[in-house]
Copies of this chain bind each other. A is one copy, B any other.
Amino acid sequence: MSFDDPALEYQAPGAASAGGHGDQAPTIYDVARVAGVSIASVSRVLNGQQNPRQETRDRVLRAVAELGFAPDGAARALSVRLKEVVGVIVRRPRWHDSSMFADEDENLQFPDMINRGMEIVAQRHGFDLLIRSVGLDEPDAGRRVLALARKSDGLILHDRVLSPAELERLSRQVPVVTLAGEPTSSTVNVHGDNEGGMRALARHLIHDHGYATFAFLAGHEGSPDSLTRGRALASEAAAAGVTLLAGDDWRGGYQAAGGAQAIERLIAGGVRLPRAIVCANDQSAIGVLHALAAHGISVPGDVAVTGFDDMPVARHLRPQLTSVRQSIQDLGATAFETLYSMINRSGQAKESPRGRDIALPTRLVRRESCGCGPQSVKSAAQAADLGGAACA
C-alpha cells in the first residue's frame, strides 16, 4: 500500500486480494490497514456514527469499496446480540424421505405464500428469513426447532409441530409466534377468522341456495383451523336444522389427492353424497372436483363444492371455486410484525404487544362451484387476476 492517491476510486486489488479464485472475504482489519486507521474507526463509519471526521470517513469508504467489504454476519451478531434473522419452521411433507419430489406438493403453496408475506415486511426491518422444515413425526423435532431458534432472534412456526408444553419451554429462550396454532401463555398465535368465514359460507349455502344436506371434508387431524371451521359449519347446520356429515370418512388432509381419495372411497362404498361438500381448504376441494368429474357428477348441479383460503388457483378451476378468502400474505406479515415487536421488547415489559391470539378477517368469495351463476363478463385481464363475483 505504498500508493494511496485518494483520487483512485476503484484501484486494482492490492496485495490484500491477490485476484483469482479462492480469495477470502476481507475483514475489518483489511479495511483498517488499507485505510490507515483503526478497526474502531472503520466500524464507526460503517455504523453511521456521527463521530468520524470527513477525511477518516472518506479513507474508510474508499477502502471498503476497493475491497468490497461487508461485515461478517456471525461476528456482528455475536457482538450486538442481534442476528437480524427470524427462523421459520415449516412442516415437512410426509413423502420427504420416501418418494422424494413426489408430485403432490401443491399444498405447499399456502405456507410459501405466508412466507412471502413475512419476507416482505421482514425486509423493511432489515431481517431475513431462515427456513427449516421439520417432520411432525420426527423424533427430536424439539431439538431441531431449538437449534434453529439459536440461529435466529425469534421463531415463527407453521402448523403444529410442537406440543404446547414444548412451545412454552422454547419460548423461555426466544420469542415465538405460531401460525394456525393455539396461543400459550408466552406465545402469540396468528390465524384467519375461520369462524366468521365459515359461518358466512354456511349461511350462504343454507339460506341463499337452500341446500339441506352437507358434508365437511376435514383437513389433517388436530389442525385447529380445520376444527374451528368444522365446528362453525356444524353450528350453522344445527341452527338451520340441516344434515351434516363428517367423521373419519370425510378427511382430505388439506391435499388434492386426499380429497380425491376420500370421494373415491365414499362413492365406492355406495354412500349417497350430500348436496354440498364443504372442504377444509381449496387444495382438497380441487381433488374433490376431480373425483366428482371422473364420476360424471356435475358441480354445482348435482353437488356443490366449496373451498377455503382462496388460493390463486381457485379462480382458474372449472367451475370456479367458491371459497373463503384470507389475505394469506397478511397472515405472514402480521406474524412477523408481532414477532418483531417481541424481539425488541425482549427482556423489558412483560405485556404482549398485541393480543395473544390474533385473528385476521376473512371474506366469502362466491364463484360458480357453490351454485352461483358464472361470473359477470369482465375483461379477461381483470378476470385473470381478480377475485370473486356477485351471486345471483
B103 in contact with A70 (CB, 8 Å): no
Which chain B residue has the least Cβ–Cβ distance from A19? Answer: B172
With both chains docked as a complex, state the minimum distance between the C-beta of A180 and any C-beta of chain B, in angstroms. Answer: 18
Considering residues A85, A112, A116, A129, which has the most beta carbons from chain B within 10 angstroms of its beta carbon? A116
Cβ-defined contact, B387 with A25, below 8 A: no
The stretch among A209-217, A221-229, A291-299 that forms the contact with chain B is: A291-299
B120 touching A384, Cβ below 8 Å: no
Distance in angstroms from A376 CB to nearest chain B CB is: 12
Contacts of A25 in B (CB 8 A): 149-150, 173-174
Which of B68, B257, B348 makes the CB contact (< 8 A) with A385?
B257
**A71 / chain B contacts, CB cutoff of 8 Å:** 150
Give the contact stretch, choosing among A53-61, A73-81, A198-206: A73-81
**Given A70-B150, A83-B73, A117–B132 Cβ distance below 8 Å?**
no
> What residues on B are CB-neighbors of A377 within 8 Å?
294
The listed residue (B96, B100, B261, B380) touching A294 by CB distance below 8 A is B380
Known: A150-B70, A151-B128, A379-B264. A385 touches B104 (CB 8 A): yes
A109: B residues at CB distance < 8 A: 109, 112
Complex contacts, A70 vs chain B, CB 8 Å: 143, 146-147, 149-150
Residue with the greatest number of chain B CB neighbours at <10 A, chosen from A25, A74, A96, A312: A74
| A260 proximity list for chain B (CB < 8 A) | 380-381, 383-385
Contacts of A386 in B (CB 8 A): 103
* Interfacial chain B residues near A102, Cβ < 8 Å: 385
A194 at the interface (CB under 8 A from B): no
> What residues of B have a CB within 8 angstroms of the CB of A390 in the complex?
none
Q: What are 28 A-B contacts with C-beta separation under 8 Å?
A: A21-B172, A22-B346, A24-B347, A25-B150, A70-B143, A70-B149, A72-B150, A101-B117, A102-B385, A103-B386, A103-B387, A105-B116, A105-B329, A106-B313, A108-B112, A119-B131, A119-B132, A128-B130, A260-B380, A263-B380, A264-B380, A290-B380, A290-B383, A291-B384, A292-B380, A294-B377, A294-B380, A313-B316
Which 5 A-B pairs rank lowest in CB-CB distance, beginning with the nearest? A73-B151, A294-B380, A291-B380, A74-B77, A106-B312
B-contacting residues of A (Cβ < 8 Å)?
A: 17, 20-26, 68, 70-75, 77-78, 83, 85, 87, 92, 96, 100-106, 108-109, 112-113, 115-117, 119-120, 123, 128-133, 143, 146-152, 169, 172-174, 186, 256-257, 259-261, 263-264, 286-287, 290-295, 312-313, 316-318, 327, 329-330, 333, 346-348, 350, 377, 379-381, 383-387
